[in-house]
Amino acid sequence: MNRSIARLGTTIFEHMSGLARETGAINLGQGFPDAQGPPELIESAARALRERSNQYPPMRGLPELRAAVAGYYAAHQGLALADDEIVVTSGATEALAACILALLDPGDEVILVQPLYDAYAPLVERAGAVARFVSLAPPDWRLPLDAVRAAITPRTRMLLLNTPHNPTGSMISEAELAELAELCTAHDLLLVCDEVWEAMVFDGSRHVSPLAIPGLRERSVKIGSAGKIFSLTGWKVGWVCAAPPLAGVIARAHQFLTFTTPPALQWAVAGGLALPAEWHEAHRRVHAEGRAHLARGLEQAGFAVLPSAATWFQHIDLAASGIGLADTGFCERAVREAGVATIPFSAFYAQAPETRFVRLCFTKPLAVLDEALERLAAFRQRLIAEGEAPPRS
């Protein structure tokens, strides 16, 4: 048995979703919508299954999908991508694995920003590389450029970022990316950017990819996800965008991971990416309604809701909500006693975790959100009545 794999536990998402299934709780933990997804794409995939090839597509992805990815980013982000700069993967996590395995050697150092997606550190470890952590700080969760600069050593090879950021919903600005370009150039660093939430921005902010920054264009990798763009998380269709030398190396790693991705899903995603901007805006508005509904209901129930520009999540500050429990204690009790599954922020840390914040997913029917809100409001009142108030500062 591989000891490093054996040490890994079940992810917090699987744990909380399992508890939700076991107890019949409403699942506001794992980030997926309850809806089936856009009927246009589902019908397109079904039609492709019946009428197109079901055999191996090209390892780098169908030409139609690679062209659609390039067209989508040209239209929505002003990026100019060539065919040899795009590699289709079986989801964004496989894209991350391919990047990390392809671009790192044993002993290389990688700067990771906490809180972080739970796959980052284990993948870095599996590549034989060394993770160096810097942390975002509440309440604005801005990228700590001074801390990033201080973490760079002669062995640093890569900076792995996530914008829009999960779980905080914060975003890296164009000015911050320009500063990163100077850092990466001065220290000859690669920048891998997990941008899967790029289409789920709700407050009018503009998502900027490192590929849009001249000093980062040749040394950055952009990772995207059809699952997040189209609310089809189970399809596991993602992609990598990078300059040809980087894309070529990543493709060689990809061929020994999943090799390729189901062709019917690729054709459907290609068609979806080509839909007009109005369609994408309408799709985003569906989620915006749930976002506003959950935030409003949480505030009315006495919870302190943190600002969040993007993703499918709202966040509460337990201490500011009058609750003295740490995040894991709150989440474990909430799923069992209130019948609502949530995610503790501390699960997104490898070290020195923040423990007073909780993440809730809003991509659910309004009636489901209302029931969850009613349960959480009663649970908060019960905790306060029991004396679970925050300690005095």
Look at residue 393 and tell me if it is in a domain. Answer: no
CATH number at residue 9: 3.90.1150.10
Contact by Cβ (8 Å): 331, 373: no
pLDDT digits (tens, 9 = 90+) for 70-95: 999 999 999 999 999 999 999 999 99
Q: Is the pLDDT of residue 2 over 90?
A: no
* One domain for residues 153 and 291: no
Look at residue 82 and tell me if it is in a domain. Answer: yes
* One domain for residues 23 and 74: no
* One domain for residues 56 and 177: yes
Burial letters 121-153, b for 16+ CB under 10 A, else e: bbbbbbbebbbbbbbbeeeebebeeeebbebbe
* One domain for residues 21 and 50: no
* One domain for residues 189 and 329: no
d(CA 35, CA 115): 28
Domain-ending residue, one of 275, 300, 334: 275
* One domain for residues 346 and 206: no
Residue keyed to tokens 């980013």:
73
* One domain for residues 147 and 228: yes
pLDDT digits (tens, 9 = 90+) for 4-39: 544 556 677 788 878 878 888 999 998 889 989 999
* One domain for residues 162 and 246: yes
* One domain for residues 182 and 136: yes
pLDDT digits (tens, 9 = 90+) for 284-330: 999 999 999 999 999 999 999 999 999 999 999 999 999 999 999 99
Of 271, 297, 276, the C-alpha closest to 366 is: 297
Look at residue 159 and tell me if it is in a domain. Answer: yes
CATH number at residue 126: 3.40.640.10
* Domain total in the chain: 2
To the nearest whole number, what is the mean pLDDT of the chain? Answer: 95
* One domain for residues 191 and 228: yes
Model confidence at 126, in pLDDT bands (50, 70, 90)?
A: very high
- Count other C-beta atoms under 10 Å from residue 362's C-beta: 26
Domain-ending residue, one of 220, 244, 275: 275
> 184 is in which domain, residue-wise?
39-275
Model confidence at 156, in pLDDT bands (50, 70, 90)?
A: very high
Look at residue 390 and tell me if it is in a domain. Answer: no
Dihedral angle at the C-alpha atoms of 209, 213, 219, 221, nearest 10 degrees? 10
Look at residue 13 and tell me if it is in a domain. Answer: yes
Model confidence at 389, in pLDDT bands (50, 70, 90)?
A: low
d(CA 364, CA 163): 23
Q: Is the pLDDT of residue 392 over 90?
A: no
pTM: 0.94
Domain-ending residue, one of 275, 308, 340: 275
Look at residue 121 and tell me if it is in a domain. Answer: yes
Model confidence at 188, in pLDDT bands (50, 70, 90)?
A: very high
Look at residue 359 and tell me if it is in a domain. Answer: yes
d(CA 67, CA 71): 6
Look at residue 391 and tell me if it is in a domain. Answer: no
DSSP assignment, residue 391? Answer: P
Confidence (pLDDT) at 207: 98
Model confidence at 60, in pLDDT bands (50, 70, 90)?
A: very high
Planar angle of CA 303, 309, 314, nearest 5 degrees: 30
* One domain for residues 72 and 111: yes
* One domain for residues 247 and 271: yes
